[in-house]
């Protein structure tokens, strides 16, 4: 009995030393099996959405050499996490850098897929982030971060220094989602506790207007959470507990509403992230359904993507959503501690 156990242990140690089963060559280990392409809808329908990649943290771009050490002696609880824990807000700069707020790690991650690095924003000086929620980037590359604890929106320059702090005492109670109108240099802030959206001049933080109050009528809100601005300057507000997305023009006037309460396609239950692509399609992440739905400009449902799980294209409590200039869709997958990236697929007939 002891002899058999000893031989088994010896074999296991030998396999670990070799880095895997003896039958695998070094060349085999360098060539992982290709992952199948995930698309929605399923064939034979033409694909409209394609899964691209996932971001987790610093280990996305470098080997985690401290893995065995952390298993042996544990991690340092005093050190901030370098991996996503509970991502919420997302914004993407024109150069492709992906900014992600994390309410549990209390950091703003910056994923640079070109440089293959992960950096952090808002960790220097007197306005260090405490509980970042929303994030947005203007044309001057100022990174605005909504902080629920500070009750401010802080703008950071590219060098990490503070450019501006927005929100006088008592003006913001629970700033959450942010969106930038780059053309008009306006910053929109959703305040879930005040049931309002506040509009500021991005350059100097002057309050331009407030939109809405608590209620169920057009232009009123019940816990607005996330925002997006399209290329025409229209504002999209996830009116979470009114189970809809409301749309406003560039002057703050009500335009339309998308969604009703329910659990069927085209209905919403706990909508969070919202984004708009280059053709005006509206993307809405729903925490209850563990998916995101795509609507046309008139509010008709086109497609839903995702289901409950932890694999590619699956979600657990999705939150923030962002659509970049290349029609890539980024979704903060809170429960799975990651950000998933998808690409809108344009059919050849659409390109003509």
Digit-coded pLDDT (tens) for 282-323: 999 999 999 999 999 999 999 999 999 999 999 999 999 999
Neighbours of 229 (CB within 10 A): 23
- State whether residue 68 is helix, strand or coil: helix
pLDDT of residue 125: 78
Nearest Cα neighbor of 281 from 318, 224, 329 is 329
Burial class from Cβ neighbours inside 10 Å (0-12, 13-18, 19+) for residue 265 reads exposed
- Name residue 102's beta-bridge partners: 87, 107
Tokens of 226: 């996330």
DSSP for residue 3: H
Are 162 and 126 in contact, with CB atoms under 8 Å apart? yes
What is the pLDDT confidence band of residue 347, given thresholds at 50, 70 and 90? confident
pLDDT tens for residues 123-135?
Answer: 987 889 999 999 9
The CA-based dihedral angle spanning residues 266, 304, 309, 337, taken in that order and rounded to the nearest 10 degrees: -90
- What is the rounded distance in angstroms from the CA atom of residue 77 to the CA atom of residue 69? 14
Confidence band (pLDDT; 50, 70, 90) for 31? low
Distance CA 143, CA 135 (A): 7
pTM for this structure?
Answer: 0.87
Residue 10 binned pLDDT confidence (cut-offs 50, 70, 90): very low
Give the side-chain half-sphere CA count within 13 A for 206: 5
CA–CA dist 233, 265 (Å, integer): 28
| CA max distance for the chain | 81
pLDDT at position 67: 46
Please give the pLDDT value at position 62. Answer: 77
CA-CA distance, 194 to 331, in Å (whole number)? 26
- Per residue in 168-195, pLDDT (tens digit) is 888 999 999 999 999 999 999 999 999 9
Residue-wise pLDDT for 227-257, tens only, equals 999 999 999 999 999 999 999 999 999 999 9
């Amino acid at each position: 009995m002891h002899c058999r156990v000893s031989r088994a242990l010896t074999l296991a140690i030998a396999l670990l030393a070799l880095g895997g089963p003896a039958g695998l060559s070094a060349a085999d280990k360098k060539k992982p099996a290709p992952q199948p392409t995930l698309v929605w809808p399923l064939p034979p329908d033409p694909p409209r959405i394609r899964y691209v990649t996932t971001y987790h943290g610093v280990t996305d771009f470098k080997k985690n050499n401290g893995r065995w050490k952390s298993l042996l002696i544990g991690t340092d609880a005093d050190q901030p996490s370098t991996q996503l824990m509970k991502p919420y807000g997302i914004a993407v700069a024109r150069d492709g850098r992906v900014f992600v707020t994390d309410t549990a790690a209390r950091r703003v991650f910056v994923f640079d897929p070109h440089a293959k690095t992960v950096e952090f924003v808002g960790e220097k000086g007197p306005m260090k982030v405490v509980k970042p929620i929303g994030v947005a980037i203007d044309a001057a590359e100022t990174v605005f971060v909504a902080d629920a604890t500070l009750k401010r929106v802080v703008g950071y320059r590219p060098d990490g220094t503070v450019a501006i702090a927005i929100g006088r005492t008592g003006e913001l109670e629970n700033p959450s989602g942010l969106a930038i109108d780059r053309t008009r240099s306006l910053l929109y802030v959703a305040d879930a506790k005040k049931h309002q959206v506040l509009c500021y001049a991005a350059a100097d933080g002057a309050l331009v207007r407030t939109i809405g109050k608590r209620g169920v009528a057009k232009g009123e809100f019940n816990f607005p959470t996330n925002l997006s601005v399209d290329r025409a300057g229209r504002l999209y507000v996830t009116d979470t507990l009114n189970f809809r997305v409301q749309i406003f023009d560039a002057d703050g006037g009500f335009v339309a509403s998308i969604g009703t309460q329910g659990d069927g396609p085209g209905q919403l239950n706990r909508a969070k992230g919202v984004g708009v692509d280059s053709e005006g399609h509206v993307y809405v992440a729903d925490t209850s359904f563990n998916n995101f739905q795509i609507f046309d400009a008139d509010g008709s449902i086109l497609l839903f993507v995702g289901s409950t799980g932890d694999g590619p294209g699956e979600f657990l409590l999705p939150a923030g959503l962002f659509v970049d200039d290349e029609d890539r869709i980024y979704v903060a997958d809170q429960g799975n501690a990651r950000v998933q990236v998808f690409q809108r697929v344009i059919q050849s007939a659409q390109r003509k």
